Amino acid sequence: MSLSKEELIYMSRIAESTERFEDMLEYMKKVVGFKTELNIEERNLLSVAYKNSVGSRRYQIDNLELLGELFNQLKQKKIQKAAKISNY
C-alpha cells in the first residue's frame, strides 16, 4: 500500500509525538522521494527525524564505549588479583 505525501507527513507527525524517530525518518525519506520542494514544516520534520536518529545512535555508541572501558577495568582488576594470588 502506497501512502500519499500528506499521509506520510501525518504518519511522520505521529511518529514524532510517540518518539519513534527511526519510523519518522523512514516516512520523511519517502516524502523526499516525491521530488517536490519541501515547505518549512516538512523541512523541520526531516531535520527533527535526522537529529534524533543520529542522536540516538550517538548515545548507543557512547554506552558501548563505556561498557568496553568498564570491561577492561574489570579485566585488569582480575589480572592483578590473579597475580597477587600466584605470588602468595
Domain residue extents for the chain: 5-87
Question: Please, are residues 15 and 45 in contact by the beta-carbon 8 Å criterion?
Answer: no
Instruction: Give the residue from 84, 15, 85, 88 showing the smallest Cα distance to 49.
Output: 15
pLDDT (tens digit, 9 = 90+) per residue, 4-50?
999 999 999 999 999 999 999 999 999 999 999 999 999 999 999 99
User: Which of the residue ranges 22-26, 52-56, 63-67, 84-88 would you say has the lowest mean pLDDT?
Assistant: 84-88
Give the residue carrying C-alpha cell 577492561.
Answer: 72
